Chains A and B, each alone.
Chain A
């Protein structure tokens, strides 16, 4: 009950560096460090709502963590004249305000390892079983019922199949339906089995790709010239409409079922069930990006902003093109999220570049042709972006998103966040991007309210 006796007061605790993250979640004011210990000044009791509950939370958390007795909580009154937290800390602890905690964090990120299977299954999210630092975030698999589309098919002699397919591929327009899950050539029941010449059914394209029968005939007729010995079968090279599953089945059994009576599916496994991996190089570069992000959130926190930050990088050069912290507090605009600001910065840079180019009137420079400014750029951010920022990334043609922490109430990515939008993977939208989430040991992030839109 010591805590109630002398308000206003501060309390501090020192714990082993590796347990700081647990305690940090409750918004400490300052970090100090000395040798292998970090001192946390939690705050004035009455101002930050540090109730006894929270105080005991720190101490219990630290006690659980500090099994070797590294924790020693202390309570005290700050010097009444001191206004700054840092000076109060110094006065109280007789320690100097550290200048090297960024460095300390760098070391800690670089040394962070995967959380491994310890986390598996506990949060119900993707990739709990991965031993990589980042796991891919896929949206919920919404389409599990068979849907059929119309496709054009015809019959060709097996002998010319390879040539015919390659010739067609050159001439066909881009198909609005993905047909990669369907067999291209099928030996099926409608074909006579007694004939010496083997005939195959050929999948040409979806009816949506080439709606007119005349156009399909025009595509198929040249194939007749490939046949050297004439075959008397009037179905040859004549287009017919068949029904085919519009997307691959989620399981092998369903794949078999769906193929009955429709155009058959090729079972290649379900990519949604496979956890793919980022190459080591990528993981390393994201780790260094994360260090920069931590410095940014530190700044945001000290400036009274919401401690969320983002950067945009160009994977080809490895360079950071834009970085930003969340600025909704200072701008008084609830939409000044860090991802939005980064995208706006990229546009401004390009705008300035074009202005300069126009002013110089140098015709030798690269013509500005890139229609979408963030095309193939990547966003690395601390928290799962909200639906607005996710869609901003779709509009800007971002190729990959990497983030540290899920925001289960407001996020637009994870299937367990909010209504499970999975905006990065929504096939109805005109762009999809890859998404990876940090899977390693817990990173020192400042606490963000769970209902915050990042």
Chain B
């Protein structure tokens, strides 16, 4: 299924590729307002030596140069990897309308993987975060990047981590998206898959 979300995510992936080519952790994003891309961003932590220069922040700063921060209330973010806790909180403080992301970030994702900064009780309004748009592409970029990092390391790690894996764990949609919204965004099949998953895990326990 290809949607307008995929179109925007393809642009975000382009930014991620650019990050990859610049020796940055390959994460890219675009901000969309009224159907138009108003900013792009890619990771910039290695070049700037600043651990907080994530793709999201570069885009935010670009937007704020010419717009009031209220523009975010009508803006959606497409980012190849789930925003980390820091970015998830930043986006909430800006009152972003919605976030679409590629793959989950198990290590420090803030939109459902480690914390649920986007939907927890908080000062600003919550925002929805939808995973799975060009997820495999986003994962493969990250894998290729870390593989290359590992080869560059003075003491390369074990043989196992030197192989490029190409298999994917299934995405647990139910962890990120309310059941009521799944069908509209991901289609009937996705809902059926999720229901099959939940019934098996219920049987298991």
- A residues at B contact (CB < 8 Å): 331-335, 340, 343-344, 347-348, 350-351, 354, 372-374, 386-392, 394-397, 409-410, 412, 418-419, 421, 423, 426, 428-430, 451, 453
Contacts and interface: CB of A to CB of B under 8 A. Distances in A.
A332 B69 CA distance: 7
A215 to B, nearest CB: 10
Given A388-B86, A391-B108, A418-B121, A335 B93 contact: yes
20 contacts: A331-B64, A332-B68, A333-B69, A334-B93, A340-B52, A343-B50, A347-B51, A350-B49, A387-B85, A387-B88, A387-B115, A388-B93, A392-B86, A395-B86, A396-B52, A409-B123, A410-B123, A418-B123, A423-B85, A429-B107
B93 A430 contact: no
A146 B45 CA distance: 39
Interface residues of B, number: 31
Nearest to B158: A173
Question: 6 closest Cβ contacts across the A-B interface?
Answer: A347-B50, A391-B86, A387-B89, A388-B89, A395-B51, A391-B85
Interface in B88-117: 88-90, 93-94, 107-108, 110, 114-115, 117
B89 A386 contact: yes
A453 B85 contact: no
Nearest to A348: B50
B84 A430 contact: no
A429 B117 CA distance: 14
B120 to A, nearest CB: 4
Interface string B47-63: 01111110001001100
Contacts of B128: none
Contact of B114 (A333, A396, A410, A426): A426
Contact of B94 (A334, A343, A354, A421): A334
Given A335-B60, A388-B93, A412-B89, A429 B50 contact: no
A430 B68 CA distance: 35
Contacts of A387: 85-86, 88-89, 110, 115, 117
B121 A419 contact: yes
Nearest to A452: B123
B156 interface: no
B187 interface: no
Interface in B103-151: 107-108, 110, 114-115, 117, 120-123
A335 B90 CA distance: 7
A203 B114 CA distance: 30
- Most central of B51, B69, B89, B120 by chain A CB within 10 Å: B51
A372 B51 contact: yes
Nearest to A420: B120
Given A351-B49, A409-B123, 9 more contacts: A335-B57, A347-B48, A347-B50, A350-B49, A394-B108, A396-B52, A419-B121, A421-B115, A428-B114
A58 B169 CA distance: 62
B123 A453 contact: yes
Interface in B35-80: 48-53, 57, 60-61, 64, 68-69
Contacts of A412: 89
A373 B120 contact: no
Contacts of B123: 409-410, 418, 451, 453
B51 A335 contact: no
A451 B108 CA distance: 25
A373 B93 contact: no
- Most central of A343, A395, A429 by chain B CB within 10 Å: A395
A61 to B, nearest CB: 27
Contact of B122 (A348, A396, A419): A419
B77 to A, nearest CB: 14
A397 B68 CA distance: 32
Contacts of B48: 347, 351
A347 B52 CA distance: 10
A216 B108 CA distance: 31
Contacts of A350: 49
Contacts of A428: 114
B64 to A, nearest CB: 5
A373 B50 contact: yes
A77 B122 CA distance: 42
